[in-house]
Amino acid sequence: MPSKPVADADPPVFASMKRVEERAADDAAALSALLDEVEGPFVVRGLVKDWPLVRAGLESGRAARKYLLDKACAAPFTVTIGQPGRDGRLFYDDDFGMNFRTARGKLADIFRGFDENEGRKDAPAIYLTSVDMGTFFDGLVEDNPSPVRDRKPSERIWIGTDTRVAAHNDFPRNLACCAVGRRRFTIFPPEQFANLYLGPLENTPAGRPVSMVDMHRPDLEAYPRFAEALEHAQVVELEPGDAVYIPSMWWHHVEGLSEFNILVNYWWRETPSYLAQPQDALNHAILAIRDLPGEDREIWRKLFEHYVFDAGDAVTGHIPAKARGILAPLTPETASQLRTYLLRTLNR
């Protein structure tokens, strides 16, 4: 039997949300066209329904785990273990540490934990996050082909119980495919970040800042602007074989709705790989600019607008092309030079 849904009723917050737009794509070419044409998120039903992994999961969670075990490499896997019970929220504890721990072990031993906790009300959350499919499995990528392989994506698999991950965003574009169980994605536009009440930048559950609001129990007295974010939210529930596209920098809250879930996602960038991560620039700006006196910050704001956000002919038109250096569009060579310069200055 397929992995069964968790029995708890859906929180009322989801009832009135706009649904993510559904689009049709019969093959990779049709999907590629959608990715180039559609600006916002969308869902494609049954996109990967023919994957062997999906078929195994429709048989049972144990069948899906056996399928993965048969392809697993010998390397140890990292697993997240949360608190007992069915809340499943992987988040901060009261002291802003994490309410989960991580461990490493053989996949067979980790899957034994899934088997032993199956059906238990007091079971801990168990989650293997962002596992590189090509590194940790032999033949999994080939047997379950990516629908966006032309984009040369990073290919990741997420295996867990009924967990909840707070709203966060990613710089790469993202196609998330529900392989086993059911998933719910609640998606917010990039500009809603202030209304999501983001937590710390450097102390995060998984490397990206997350919303402090509990989607199942939003406290609008503590987080009043979240009501505005909900006005712009879109929600979708994925069945096995369905996929949702999340554009770059869109916020998404992710939860497993079944006792056992597997998600496969693909991240890719449209920008060249030699460019740096924008988050690094934000962190550096906090270090170098945020705590300056107000009049100094205003000068730097205008310099950023001039050199970074406008970056037009007024910046370089008066400089001979051969002398523009990093003011010209970056190349692999000039990006490497700039990276070396920054590393040298940061290590002073």
Contacts 24+ apart (CB under 8 A), 12-20: 13/215, 13/216, 13/218, 13/230, 14/184, 14/186, 14/235, 17/186, 17/230, 17/233, 17/234, 17/235, 18/233, 18/234, 18/235, 19/234, 19/235, 19/236, 20/185, 20/187, 20/234, 20/235, 20/236, 20/244
Asked if residue 246 belongs to a domain, the reply is yes
Summarised one tens digit per residue, pLDDT across range 21-60 is 999 998 999 999 999 999 999 999 999 999 999 999 999 9
Summarised one tens digit per residue, pLDDT across range 236-269 is 999 999 999 999 999 999 999 999 999 999 999 9
Asked if residue 1 belongs to a domain, the reply is no
Asked if residue 21 belongs to a domain, the reply is yes
What is the C-alpha to C-alpha distance for residues 47 and 43, in angstroms, rounded to an integer?
9
Asked if residue 5 belongs to a domain, the reply is no
Torsion (CA) 134, 140, 144, 147 in degrees, nearest 10: 0
Residue whose tokens read 């719910």:
184
What is the C-alpha to C-alpha distance for residues 199 and 176, in angstroms, rounded to an integer?
24
What is the pTM for the complete model shown?
A: 0.93
pLDDT at 5 over 60: no
Which DSSP string do the residues of 319-333 spell out, in sequence order? S-GGG-GGGSPP-HH
What is the C-alpha to C-alpha distance for residues 348 and 337, in angstroms, rounded to an integer?
17
Q: Which of 264, 282, 267, 348 lies closest to 64, judged by CA?
A: 264
Domain shared by 339 and 250, yes or no? no
pLDDT at 343 over 80: yes
Domain shared by 159 and 291, yes or no? no
> What pLDDT is stored for residue 1 in this prediction?
46
Asked if residue 2 belongs to a domain, the reply is no
Domain shared by 120 and 218, yes or no? yes
Domain shared by 305 and 258, yes or no? no
Question: CB within 8 A of 129, min separation 6: which ones?
Answer: 78, 80, 158, 160, 206
Domain shared by 249 and 294, yes or no? no
| % the chain with pLDDT above 90 | 90
End-to-end distance of the chain based on CA atoms, in angstroms?
Answer: 60
Q: Considering 214, 242, 268, which residue would you say is the last residue of a domain?
A: 268
**Containing domain of residue 261, as a range?**
12-268
What is the C-alpha to C-alpha distance for residues 264 and 156, in angstroms, rounded to an integer?
6
Asked if residue 161 belongs to a domain, the reply is yes
Going through 51-93 in order, the beta strands assigned E by DSSP cover 77-84, 89-90
Domain shared by 324 and 259, yes or no? no
Domain shared by 90 and 212, yes or no? yes
Asked if residue 6 belongs to a domain, the reply is no
How many domains does the structure of the chain reveal?
A: 2
What is the C-alpha to C-alpha distance for residues 174 and 248, in angstroms, rounded to an integer?
7
Q: What is the CATH number of the domain that holds 170?
A: 2.60.120.10
Domain shared by 61 and 180, yes or no? yes
Q: Which residue has the higher pLDDT, 312 or 86?
A: 312
> What pLDDT is stored for residue 7 in this prediction?
45
Q: Give CA angle at 61 (119, 25), nearest 5°.
A: 130
Domain shared by 50 and 188, yes or no? yes
> What pLDDT is stored for residue 4 in this prediction?
52
Question: CB–CB of 88/105 below 8 Å?
Answer: no
Q: Which of 170, 190, 144, 180 lies closest to 50, judged by CA?
A: 144
Q: Considering 245, 268, 291, which residue would you say is the last residue of a domain?
A: 268
Question: CB within 8 A of 22, min separation 6: which ones?
Answer: 42, 43, 44, 45
Domain shared by 295 and 255, yes or no? no
What is the C-alpha to C-alpha distance for residues 219 and 226, in angstroms, rounded to an integer?
9
pLDDT at 6 over 60: no
Q: Give CA angle at 25 (23, 30), nearest 5°.
A: 120
Domain shared by 158 and 303, yes or no? no
What is the C-alpha to C-alpha distance for residues 226 and 68, in angstroms, rounded to an integer?
40
Asked if residue 182 belongs to a domain, the reply is yes
Domain shared by 190 and 332, yes or no? no
Q: Considering 268, 300, 322, which residue would you say is the last residue of a domain?
A: 268
Average pLDDT over residues 173-190: 98
Return left, alpha or beta for 346; rule: phi > 0 is left, psi -120 to 50 is alpha, else beta: alpha
> What pLDDT is stored for residue 121 in this prediction?
87
